[in-house]
Amino acid sequence: MEYYSYIKSLHLIFVITWFAGLFYIPRLFVYQIESAEKPEPDRSILGEQLKLMTRRLWYIITWPSAVLASLFAFWLLYLMPGWLSQDWMLVKLGFVVLLYAYHYKCHLLFKELQQDVIKWTSNQMRLWNEGSTLILFAVIFLVIVRDAINWIYGVIGIFLLSGILMLGFKMYKRIRTKNPDA
């Protein structure tokens, strides 16, 4: 138990860097999608540079952070096995599974875009970008509050946050339509 604080700190550091990668990778996807619509030589130059940036972000920061965050989380659960009997931890682990599903989908999108396969619009990708934000809010509130009895209120709060994000997205889309450089 003397190493608990160090392990928890390392877990949090890698959770933060994992989320940083998950926040930024869809933004790079947006840029890749938009660069494909540009005329040559911009399309090729931007496309190759963005592929390089996404590859480095994905394999040097995001994937290693996900693995290390998980390893330190398992270590914490090993040290604190009683957590697995607490409702808040079970709900949190459900959100972690959802986070891995989001991560995996981002990986599939990454592989498609590396092959110049574009199936999403830039607006769809902007919306997708909010997925990790919602999961982050859910996990942070769950861990800090640790009140799984009221997790239903938390889920309602997440849906309200989703609605607010959707409204913000629509407002941004209108502004961007009026002013393409925004």
CA distance 128 to 45: 25
Residue 54: C-alpha distances to residues 38, 58, 67, 112, 138 (Å): 19, 6, 18, 12, 26
Model confidence, pTM: 0.82
Q: What is the pLDDT of residues 59-99, one digit of tens each?
A: 999 999 999 999 999 999 999 999 899 888 888 899 999 99
Per-residue confidence band for 181, with pLDDT thresholds at 50, 70 and 90? low
Which of 100, 106, 96, 103 is closest to 73 using CA atoms? 96
Q: What is the CA radius of gyration of the chain?
A: 19
The pLDDT value given to residue 150: 67
> Which residue positions form the known binding site for heme?
11, 92
pLDDT tens figures, 139-159: 887 788 776 556 667 667 777
Amino acid at 16: I
Q: Report how far residue 39's alpha carbon sits from residue 50's, in angstroms, rounded to the nearest whole number.
A: 16
The mean pLDDT of the chain is 89
Distance CA 11, CA 80 (A): 14
Residues within the annotated binding site? Answer: 11, 92
In which domain, by residue range, is 169 found? 4-178
pLDDT of residue 151: 63
What is the number of domains present in the chain? 1
